[in-house]
Amino acid sequence: MHNKESLINFILNVVDISKQDAQDIVKRFKPIALKEKEFLLQEQEFSDAYLYLEKGVMRTFLYDLKGNEITIDFFTDNSIVFEVNSFFNRVRSEANIQAITDCYGYTVTYDELNTLFHNKPAFRDFGRALLVKKFSTSQKRNFGLINKTAIQRYQNLMASQPQIFQYSPLKYIASYLGVTDSTLSRLRKKM
């Protein structure tokens, strides 16, 4: 489970780098396991974990003004998980990152990540590529909340991350889609 081969392959699929450089990079990553409902990060903490999620499902959520949990992102197998603002700007997080299922992967700290960015130019390209992809995905979701119907948002999520529907409670999916639980139930019946 902890041979880091999946992390090496993940890096190689994102950026043009030698296998030896990828192996050198992953030496800095440490194994981590989170149990279902365990937090990687809670609001008001400083984020210091840049996580490659090898296996599992996680979510990022905020509390709205009424104290309701609003899911703003999901993460599934083979993805990078961290709270960008807190991690890079070294400020307290407004968000929570929680395991929906038992999860495992590999993590590196802010200082270790910066050392890698400075010592391995190709790894900077890796980081940049992931940030651009994440920004694009986030922008697409935000636009979708404005210019897509609930059923279109549901279909898009089903097509892009079907694993979420298998493991995530419907209330998390409903809040992510910007609909009520009952609206989500109606959408599921139509599908």
User: From the CB of residue 148, how many other CB atoms can be counted at a distance below 10 Å?
Assistant: 17
Torsion of CA 45, 47, 49, 50, to 10 degrees: 150
Q: Residues near 109 by Cβ (< 8 Å), separated by ≥ 6?
A: 48, 49, 50
Q: 188: pLDDT confidence band, cut at 50, 70 and 90?
A: confident
Q: Considering the chain, what percentage of its residues have pLDDT values greater than 70? A: 99
Predicted TM-score of the model (pTM): 0.90
Pick the CATH number of 5-190 from 3.40.50.720, 2.60.120.10, 2.60.200.30, 2.60.120.580: 2.60.120.10
| Spatial separation of the C-alpha atoms in residues 99 and 17, rounded to whole Å | 31
Q: Where are the domains of the chain?
A: 5-190
Distance of CA 137 to the CA centre of its chain: 11
Higher pLDDT pick, 144 / 1: 144
pLDDT at 2: 59
CA dihedral 51, 62, 73, 39 (to 10 degrees): 30
pLDDT digit string, tens, across residues 122-169: 888 888 888 888 888 888 888 988 999 999 999 999 999 999 999 999
User: What is the predicted pLDDT for the residue at 121?
Assistant: 86
pLDDT tens sequence across 9-56: 999 999 888 999 999 999 999 999 999 999 999 999 999 999 999 999
pLDDT attached to residue 1: 46
In the prediction, which pLDDT does 38 show?
A: 98
Predicted local confidence at residue 189, as pLDDT: 82
C-alpha distances (whole Å) from 113 to each of 8, 10, 127 are 15, 16, 9
Sheet strand arrangement including 39-41: 39-41, 96-99, 58-63, 69-75
